[in-house]
Structure 1
C-alpha cells in the first residue's frame, strides 16, 4: 500500500511539473466558455482526456485480441470435429482391433 501511495504521489508531482513547464514554455492554456483555465485545471483536463483515451485504447485492443482469440479457438474446435467426423470409422476399427488383441487379465486367487 505504501508503494501505491508513493507511486501516485510521484505521478502527480511529475504531471504537475511537466504541466507547469509546458504551460510556461509553450504558453499552453485551455479556454472554456471565454475563460482561461489555470495551469492546474489545464493539466487536470489534459490528464483526464489522456486517461479516457488510454482506457478506450485498452478496451479496443482487448476486444480485437479477444475476437481474434475466440475466432481461432472456434476454428480449432471446428477442425477437431471435422477430423473426428472424417476418421471416426477408422478410429472405431482401430479401437475394436485393440480390444480384440488386448491381453485379458485373469483374476489371481
Structure 2
C-alpha cells in the first residue's frame, strides 16, 4: 500500500482505484477515502469464480462462507454497483459513479 501511495503522489494522479477482494476483512478500508462495493447475486458469483479459477461449487461456496457476510459489506460501503447484468450495463454504472464523484470533488 505504501508503494502505491508514493507512486500516486509522485505522478500527481487525481484518481486511484484499488481492487481489494477482502477490503473490509483486512481493515484496508480505513485507508480509503471511500469504498465502492461491486456485488452480484450468489449464484452468479459462484458461476463466475468456478469459471475463472477452475474450482468446484463446494470450494467456491466455502470461500464465500469464510468471508464477511454480504449485508455487512453493503452497510460498510459508501457506494454499491450491481454486477448482475452485462459488462456494458456495469460500465454505465461505473461511468455514472465516476461522473458523480467528479462533480462532488471526492476524487481530490
| TM-score bracket relative to the smaller structure | under 0.3
Whose helix proportion is higher, 1 or 2?
1
Q: Which has the higher contact order (CA 8 A, sep 6+)?
A: 2
Larger Rg: 1
TM score, norm. by length of structure 1: 0.21
